[in-house]
């Protein structure tokens, strides 16, 4: 009963809520790992642990990751007397890379060289995701005219960016 209360306290007072079954899987894996280490005198592989408790290695990996304590992005990872290296410094951000900022600025600058109507069409088509037919209805021209103006605007932007 005491062990149950301790487990409930640990489960309910964590920073991140993890399901009971996931925690149980992780604890089984830890227990199996300890037993295998005592028996074989070496670190067991995930596959050996999976065979020992009869659960797939993917589920064990997922469960073990789920019970890890969260780490702050501003947690120092390394310091050599100078500026510390934080977890944040080791994370890659594909969405907001410097090249993307430069591309966005270049496109913005290229769009400034378009007439208002063409700029509006490019904005609706590529930034708002509207079809040529939707753009035509909104502006009050034919879809063929939208297509022609769009091609002309893209050509003008390409020439500016070259």
Q: Give the CATH architecture of domain 98-161.
A: Orthogonal Bundle (1.10)
Distance (Å, whole) CA 107 – CA 160: 10
Q: Measured between alpha carbons, how far is 24 from 63 in angstroms, rounded to an integer?
A: 8
Amino acid 136: pLDDT = 93
pLDDT of residue 103: 79
The pLDDT of residue 134 is 92
pLDDT tens for residues 103-129?
788 888 888 999 999 999 999 998 898
Distances (CA, A) of 29 to 8, 22, 69, 113, 145: 19, 11, 17, 63, 65
Q: Is the pTM of this model over 0.85?
A: no
Task: Show me where the domains of the chain are located.
Answer: 2-69, 98-161
Domain at 2-69: CATH architecture: Orthogonal Bundle (1.10)
CB 160 within 8 A of CB 110: yes
């Amino acid at each position: 009963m005491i062990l149950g209360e301790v487990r409930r306290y640990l489960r309910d007072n964590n920073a991140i809520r993890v399901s009971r079954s996931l925690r149980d899987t992780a604890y089984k894996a830890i227990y199996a790992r300890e037993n295998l280490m005592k028996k074989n005198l070496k670190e067991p592989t995930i596959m050996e642990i999976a065979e020992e408790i009869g659960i797939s290695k993917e589920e064990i990996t997922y469960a073990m990751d789920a019970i890890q304590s969260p780490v702050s992005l501003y947690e120092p990872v390394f310091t050599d007397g100078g500026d510390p290296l934080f977890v944040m410094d080791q994370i890659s951000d594909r969405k907001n890379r410097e090249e993307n900022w430069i591309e966005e600025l270049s496109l913005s600058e290229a769009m400034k060289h378009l007439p208002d109507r063409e700029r509006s069409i490019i904005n609706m088509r590529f930034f708002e995701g509207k079809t040529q037919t939707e753009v035509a209805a909104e502006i009050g021209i034919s879809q063929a005219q939208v297509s022609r103006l769009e091609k002309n605007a893209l050509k003008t932007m390409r020439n500016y960016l070259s």
